[in-house]
């Protein structure tokens, strides 16, 4: 079975201070493109898992989310293919068809399970990299190892169970995975 790196999108791969529905505004964070290439060359599938409650709040539509993902793939390069899963639902949404809780919405692990089924993943060999505790909670629930970005200026969150690793850069996250794999 294959292993994957589950990647939060906003403020993990790309800069996003708020809702983003404009592909022209996609800006990659430092070290991400090189890091993704390295992870892919180690044999991991790369799976983006992102809550997009902006759809439920009527800020942009699913088509815009897909265009942002096309742009992200273009910036990363076609030789490093990404899989995308997003959750457009939010319980406080204003767009009726999306205004509900959903098993795909992190901290629930629904996107991880869907990807595991579709891509044939061994979740115990997978990792999650994200900047929020809900990313860690979702990954942990799915049985993955967890790496939390702790960047200066990141929203302080209620402290829950510690992640397996905490890093300050994408490069550090890749290095932790590389070492664990070579010790493996």
Query: Does residue 8 have an active-site annotation?
Result: yes
**Which one of 72-80, 92-100, 129-137, 156-164 is the stretch in contact with Mg ion (CB under 5 A)?**
129-137
DSSP track, 92-121:
T-SSGGG-S--TTSTTS-HHHHHHHHHHTB
Is position 11 an interface residue for Mg ion (rule: CB under 5 A)? yes
Is position 131 an interface residue for Mg ion (rule: CB under 5 A)? yes
Shortest distance in whole angstroms from residue 3 CB to Mg ion: 22
Query: Does residue 131 have an active-site annotation?
Result: no
CA–centroid distance for 16 within its chain:
13
**Which one of 76-84, 85-93, 128-136, 142-150 is the stretch in contact with Mg ion (CB under 5 A)?**
128-136
Q: Please report, to the nearest 10 degrees, the dihedral formed by the alpha carbons of residues 130, 132, 133, 134 taken in order.
A: -90
With CB under 5 A, what is the number of residues at the site for Mg ion?
Answer: 4
Q: What are phi and psi of 169, to 5 degrees?
A: -150, 160
Is position 137 an interface residue for Mg ion (rule: CB under 5 A)? no
Question: Which of 13, 115 has the CB closer to Mg ion?
Answer: 13
Q: Which of 8, 45, 64, 137 binds Mg ion (CB under 5 A)?
A: 8
* HSE (side-chain half, CA atoms, 13 Å) at 106: 26
Question: Which of 10, 64 has the CB closer to Mg ion?
Answer: 10
**DSSP secondary structure code for residue 125 in this structure:** G
Separation between Cα atoms, residue 101 and residue 73, nearest integer Å: 28
Q: Where along the sequence are the contacts to Mg ion (CB under 5 A)?
A: 8, 10-11, 131
Residues with a catalytic annotation lie at 8, 10
């Amino acid at each position: 079975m294959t292993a994957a790196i589950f990647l939060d999108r906003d403020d993990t791969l790309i800069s996003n201070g708020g809702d983003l529905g404009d592909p022209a505004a996609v800006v990659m964070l430092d070290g991400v493109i090189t890091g993704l290439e390295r992870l892919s060359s180690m044999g991991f599938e790369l799976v983006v898992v992102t809550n997009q409650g902006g759809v439920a709040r009527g800020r942009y539509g699913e088509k815009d989310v897909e265009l942002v993902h096309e742009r992200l793939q273009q910036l990363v390069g076609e030789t490093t293919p990404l899989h995308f899963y997003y959750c457009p639902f939010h319980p406080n949404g204003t767009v009726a068809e999306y205004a509900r809780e959903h098993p795909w919405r992190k901290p629930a692990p629904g996107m991880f399970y869907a990807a595991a089924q579709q891509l044939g993943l061994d979740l115990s060999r997978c990792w999650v990299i994200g900047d929020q505790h809900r990313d860690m909670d979702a990954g942990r629930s799915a049985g993955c190892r967890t790496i939390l970005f702790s960047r200066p200026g990141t929203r302080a969150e209620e402290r829950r169970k510690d992640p397996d690793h905490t890093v300050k850069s994408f490069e550090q996250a890749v290095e932790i995975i590389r070492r664990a794999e070579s010790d493996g």
